[in-house]
Amino acid sequence: MKAIKLHIPNSWDDMSERQLGKIAVLFNSGKTDVKFYIELFFMLNNIKWWQFSKKAKLRIGLRNCPLSDLHKAYEYIFNENNRTVFPTFIKTNKGKYYPPQNRIANLTADEFAVVDDLHIKWRETKNIEYLQYMLAVLYTPKQRPLFDKNELHDKALLFKNVPPKTLLTVELAYFGCKNNLVKRFPKAFPKAKKGDAKPKKKYGFAKVILGMAKGDLSKLELIKKVNIYTFLEQFEEDLTPPKQS
C-alpha cells in the first residue's frame, strides 16, 4: 500500500483555531466510543468536508493501521492540555473584543481569581452562562481597561449570543493556560494526595488576596492589580518553609 502522509499538529499550540474549536465540541459531546477517536483523528488531520479523496485515503489507513498505533502521533492530546493561545478575537454587537496575552501573561491577580472561580463552576455544573462570564473577564477592547468585578454582569451580556463552540474553545484555551500555571507554581495549586477519603476544600484566590492584604484595604486594591505571575511567585514563596540554618 502506498504510504499516507499525516499532517497532525505536534502540540496543542500548533492547532489552528478551527481545529481547537472542533476538538472543544467533541470533548464536551459525551462521546467515549471508537467514533470519538475516529472523529478526533480526522479533526487533527484537518479534513474539510469536500476533501473526499483525502478522506478516503485516511479511511484506508485506518483499516490498515490500529488506532492505538496512530495515537502515538498525538499522545499529547490525552496526556495534558497545555494550550496557551486564545482565539484572536470575538465579535459582539459592540465590535471586536480581544483576548489576554498568551499564557494569560497580562491578567491581574483579581482577574485570575474571578475567572478561575467561574471556570471551576463551569466544570462542576456545565452551565453555559459561566462561560459567558469567563469571556467577560478574558476578552476586552484592545486597550485592556482596569478590571471592575461590579461591571461583570453587564459585560457578560455582550457575550450572550456567542456560539457555544466559541465559548468551549475559549474554555479549552483557558484550561491550558491554567495547567501551565499549575506546573510552574505547584505549591500554589496543591494536588489531592492519593488515599485521601475526600479532596481538601479548595480555597479561592480571592481569599488568598484578602489574606495577603492582612486587613489593610489600601493594600487590598493594590494587590488585586498585581500581575498574576508576580502574585503567584510571591504566594509560592510564602508557602515555602524557610531553610534550616
* Dihedral class, residue 86 (left if φ above 0, else alpha if ψ from -120 to 50, else beta): beta
Percent of the chain with pLDDT over 90: 62
- Taking all residues of the chain, what is their mean pLDDT, rounded to a whole number? 87
- Quote the pLDDT of residue 131: 98
Position 193 pLDDT exceeds 90:
no
Q: Does 63 or 9 have the greater pLDDT score?
A: 9
The band of 55, judged by pLDDT with boundaries at 50, 70 and 90, is low
Q: For the ranges 151-160, 167-176, 202-211, which has the lowest average pLDDT?
A: 202-211
Nearest to 173 by CA among 145, 148, 138: 138
Rank 18-32, 58-72, 182-196 by mean pLDDT and report only the highest. 18-32
Rank 51-65, 155-169, 180-194 by mean pLDDT and report only the highest. 155-169
The band of 199, judged by pLDDT with boundaries at 50, 70 and 90, is very low
Q: The pTM is what?
A: 0.89
Q: Where are the domains of the chain?
A: 12-79, 83-190+200-240
pLDDT average, residue stretch 103-110:
97
Position 192 pLDDT exceeds 80:
no
